[in-house]
Copies of this chain bind each other. A is one copy, B any other.
């Protein structure tokens, strides 16, 4: 009997306006789909079982809109949220489309550009606060370089730090109940983007004035582009208490930013990711920062959105059965999985050091022990394939 895989708001699935609203433009092709109206998006996603939506400032409010138009759009949007119960999960700023940001925003060599970028974010933070976003996301897509001679990395990091520190100050000064989530990406659209992985971003955050209010927003596609284990990146973020938000999608290693439907590539990796999120008690949004294939028309867009949620739920269901599977439990015991949670020695004391130094070990027999990883891994494959 199949499990029920119908999404509900309790599942906390969210979509950016720019995801289902992606019109299909790519470096070699024009748009294939008309724009979506944000309120229609809210209603349709609610119908599909989503929990909320999110947006860049310019997704919701066209830059050229006058004040009246902006108020009207916000009113309509709030009305759609109220009527559907949908939440604004995060807000963020578009610091990448306009030519002004062609050399970066917070790290543009031109100081006026850097100042304008801060201004744009401050206004967008106000918008996010007004619409109830508890998290503000920063993706520094243009903060990077193609010509290393032109942008000293240490100066760039210093400007980046200055910008985030300043904006933390702004949020606190305004009294907003809002935390920041920084999103790393290794490259594209810049040759090399600063703070390219979850690890670099976590390290950067430690150098901030208000590091307590800043965490990360890892994206499957981004660390996967560099062929890193996304699972390990997310685990390190959780271990550090810094997983504030997550972007789910799919990506092949070593390619352009694909943003495929969640689970479309890497089903086993997706399984372990879902298991980690669920086991860890992460209670934030499961955000699908993915794009429907360019070839799709409107029906395909909603198939895409439904598919993201369906695959997540299917993997969550599978993950939830592990505990009760006695063969898996036995294989875990053989592989000594639980033993890794035990202290090796505890905090340093001279006595413990002496004790360690005095121990004798039979290396040959220890080296010949069974580890049982092939069997345990095959059981995971069986579970994913629906064979158990």
Specify which chain B residues have a CB less than 8 angstroms from the CB of A28 in the assembled complex: 96-97, 141-142, 188-189
Specify which chain B residues have a CB less than 8 angstroms from the CB of A287 in the assembled complex: none
Inter-chain contact B187/A102, CB cutoff 8 Å: no
Checking B229, B310, B369, B385 against A110 with a beta-carbon cut-off of 8 angstroms, the contacting residue is: B369
Inter-chain contact A297/B366, CB cutoff 8 Å: no
Chain A 151-183, CB-CB to B under 8 Å as 1, else 0, gives 111111111001101101110010000000000
Given A110-B366, A154-B235, 19 additional A-B pairs, CB 8 A: A28-B97, A98-B363, A98-B367, A118-B344, A147-B373, A150-B337, A150-B372, A157-B236, A159-B344, A196-B229, A197-B197, A200-B202, A225-B255, A266-B266, A293-B374, A299-B372, A307-B374, A311-B381, A384-B385
How far, in angstroms, from A239 to B203 measured CA to CA in the complex?
Answer: 11
Checking B233, B258, B339, B380 against A111 with a beta-carbon cut-off of 8 angstroms, the contacting residue is: B339
Specify which chain B residues have a CB less than 8 angstroms from the CB of A32 in the assembled complex: 99, 102, 367-368
Partner-contacting stretch, out of A42-50, A69-77, A79-87, A353-361:
A353-361
- A179 → B minimal CB distance (Å): 16
Instruction: Say whether, besides A109-B337, A255-B256, A339-B111, A348 and B27 are in contact (CB < 8 Å).
Output: no
Instruction: Say whether, besides A98-B30, A370-B300, A187 and B335 are in contact (CB < 8 Å).
Output: no
Inter-chain contact B149/A332, CB cutoff 8 Å: yes
Specify which chain B residues have a CB less than 8 angstroms from the CB of A67 in the assembled complex: none
A148 at the interface (CB under 8 A from B): yes
Specify which chain B residues have a CB less than 8 angstroms from the CB of A100 in the assembled complex: 361, 363, 366-367
Inter-chain contact A372/B229, CB cutoff 8 Å: no
Report copies per complex: 4
- In the complex, 21 of the A-B residue pairs with CB atoms within 8 angstroms, ordered by the A residue number, are A27-B256, A30-B99, A109-B371, A112-B366, A118-B356, A146-B264, A149-B337, A149-B379, A169-B349, A188-B255, A192-B229, A194-B232, A196-B232, A197-B199, A199-B201, A207-B240, A227-B253, A254-B255, A296-B374, A303-B374, A384-B385
With CB as the reference atom, state the residue of chain B lying closest to A196. Answer: B228
